[in-house]
């Protein structure tokens, strides 16, 4: 399925699968909510790479900034989740707007270096600003109030599940609308042939910068939800490892496919949890093997599996 997959088919399937998991695995709602949050983060990154062709190794910066926005505001007495979610969207989007000018220039290699440098820079800034971020200890001394004053986050994670699902659906709709609009078609042209888009007079740099801001804001929302549901914000939320993981998720799911990216993020998060529980010391080896296998067996990711099976069946017949 592609980004233009009919909304009436993909979105109800996503919601139905999430509700089924809620009913079948009531003791694992924390993990399920984490999967929904990570899927939201992966969608924000795929808007960059899968649709605009902007590669990045620093996308977690905006995820972490969203989380710290919630933590800092919560510590200052602003505890309404919807208000801090919007604040995280605004702060992360504004930061992405400042960084966008140096990211959209150059080629893929320079973007990788620049975004990697931005990732290390903000990680060290957050580490040094211990008075604001808590440094290596992170922030946990903040309060998250009930959603709209009605739904408090409970110990079993039921409110967190529905809240994370609602934000995922919201981001899903936003990405789907963006990528199926004329603006999204322009992004597809930029991804496939930037020189030709320049030749026809398209504002390539402006489109790429706008996409970077949108993706940064959505990543901030994902980070905000994680901080709200876990009541914690830490340096690893904006570190290189989280940026690398989101690249792996989109590769496994299939870049440019909204349902595929959600599947890839879900599989990666579940596999990471299962392998770390099975072998806390060597779980990275299992992730590496799965990633290598996915590249050779499914070069187009999970989204390309139906087409690959169709080709195999035609050859067999």
CA distance 103 to 110: 8
Structural tokens at position 304: 């390309």
Q: Which of 40-49, 148-157, 158-167 has the lowest mean pLDDT?
A: 148-157
Contact 304, 298 (CB under 8 A): yes
- Tell me which residue of 94, 92, 88 sits closest to 71, measured CA to CA: 88
Determine the pLDDT at residue 2. Answer: 42
- Tell me which residue of 265, 273, 260 sits closest to 246, measured CA to CA: 265
Q: Provide the 8-state DSSP code for 142.
A: -
Query: Residue 1 pLDDT > 70, yes or no?
Result: no
> pLDDT higher for 107 or 27?
27
CA distance 231 to 265: 22
Mean pLDDT across the stretch 293-304? 80
CA distance 58 to 122: 9
**All structural domains of the chain with their residue ranges:** 8-239
CA distance 44 to 146: 26
The alpha carbons of the chain give a radius of gyration, in whole angstroms, of 19
Mean pLDDT across the stretch 160-177? 96
- Is the C-alpha dihedral spanning 186, 189, 193, 196 positive or negative? negative
Q: What is the pLDDT of residues 200-252, one digit of tens each?
A: 888 888 999 999 999 999 999 999 999 999 999 999 999 999 999 999 999 89
Mean pLDDT over all residues of the chain?
Answer: 90
Query: Residue 301 pLDDT > 90, yes or no?
Result: no
């Amino acid at each position: 399925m592609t980004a233009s997959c009919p909304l009436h088919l993909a979105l109800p399937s996503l919601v139905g699968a999430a509700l089924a998991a809620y009913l079948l695995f009531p003791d694992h709602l924390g993990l399920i909510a984490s999967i929904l949050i990570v899927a939201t983060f992966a969608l924000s990154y795929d808007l960059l790479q899968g649709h605009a062709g902007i590669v990045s190794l620093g996308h977690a910066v905006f995820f972490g900034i969203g989380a710290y926005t919630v933590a800092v505001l919560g510590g200052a007495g602003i505890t309404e989740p919807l208000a801090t979610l919007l604040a995280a969207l605004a702060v992360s989007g504004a930061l992405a707007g400042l960084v966008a000018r140096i990211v959209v220039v150059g080629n893929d290699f320079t973007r990788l270096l620049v975004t990697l440098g931005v990732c290390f820079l903000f990680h060290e800034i957050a580490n040094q600003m211990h008075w604001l971020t808590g440094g290596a200890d992170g922030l946990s001394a903040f309060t998250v109030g009930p959603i709209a004053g009605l739904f408090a986050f409970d110990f079993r994670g039921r409110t967190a599940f529905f809240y994370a699902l609602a934000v995922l659906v919201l981001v899903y709709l936003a990405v789907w609308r963006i990528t199926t609009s004329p603006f999204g078609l322009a992004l597809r042209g930029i991804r496939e042939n930037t020189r030709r888009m320049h030749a026809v007079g398209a504002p390539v740099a402006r489109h790429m910068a706008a996409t970077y801001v949108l993706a940064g804001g959505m990543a901030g929302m994902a980070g905000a939800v994680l901080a709200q549901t876990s009541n914690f914000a830490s340096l690893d939320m904006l570190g290189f490892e989280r940026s690398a993981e989101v690249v792996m998720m989109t590769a496994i799911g299939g870049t440019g496919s909204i349902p595929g990216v959600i599947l890839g993020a879900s599989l990666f998060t579940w596999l990471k949890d299962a392998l770390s529980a099975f072998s806390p010391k060597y779980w990275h080896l299992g992730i590496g093997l799965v990633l290598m296998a996915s590249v050779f067996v499914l070069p187009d990711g999970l989204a390309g599996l139906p087409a690959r099976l169709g080709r195999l069946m035609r050859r067999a017949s």
